[in-house]
Amino acid sequence: MEEAFIKTPLGIAKITGNENGIASIIVLNSDVPLTTIIPEVLEDAVYQLHEYFKEERKVFNLTLNPEGTSFQKKVWKALKDIPYGKTISYMDLSKTLGDPKAIRAVAAANGKNPLWIVVPCHRVIGSDGSLTGYAGGLHRKKWLLELESPSKQQSLF
């Protein structure tokens, strides 16, 4: 498994994968040395993430190969269908998957998403519109939603 550490506006991201696809993209809460030579199998992921942060990419085109249960993979696949700039509640996601009673299991699978940003778990919010749990931290979730917002918050200064 190849890996790369890249700088993003939200911290250092660790990307892992091989010829079968990208296995994980996680944001770290600590500093580690950045990768100077990106492994070839990770180049597209690095390039597309940089485009995303420059607001030049709204949809990722990567071969993904995350590890997880069949249920987790089903949830992660549904997350990919949430459009850029839109949000969905955990309840609505559960309904989309065919079982509104599975909301806790859906939320747990959402929290185990190993593909930060590419599988947009940050687009899932509470039914009341609140920013609920996010493995990368609520400050990052808020930042990502603001980046994707069709109406940017105006600064007074």
Which of 15, 102, 121, 125 is catalytic? The answer is 121
Q: Quick check: helix, strand or coil at residue 22?
A: strand
Active site annotation includes 33: no
- Asked whether the beta carbons of 22 and 60 are under 8 A apart, the reply is no
Share above pLDDT 90 across residues of the chain, in percent, rounded to a whole number: 83
> What are the distances in angstroms from CA 98 to CA 90, 125, 135?
13, 18, 25
- The model's pLDDT over 56-75, given as tens digits with 9 standing for 90+, comes to 999 999 999 999 999 999 99
| SS3 label, residue 47 | helix
Q: For residue 91, give the amino acid letter.
A: M
Domain boundaries, the chain: 2-53, 70-148
Element housing 105 (H / E):
helix 103-111
Q: Is the pLDDT of residue 117 over 90?
A: yes
Averaged pLDDT score across all residues of the chain:
93
| pLDDT attached to residue 133 | 76
Task: Assess whether pLDDT exceeds 90 at residue 129.
Answer: no
Kindly report, residue by residue over 72-97, the tens digit of the pLDDT.
999 999 999 999 999 999 999 999 99
Element (H, E) at 70: helix 70-79
Architecture of domain 70-148: Orthogonal Bundle (1.10)
Measure CA of the first residue to CA of the last residue in the chain; give whole Å: 46
Question: Can you give the pTM of this predicted structure?
Answer: 0.90
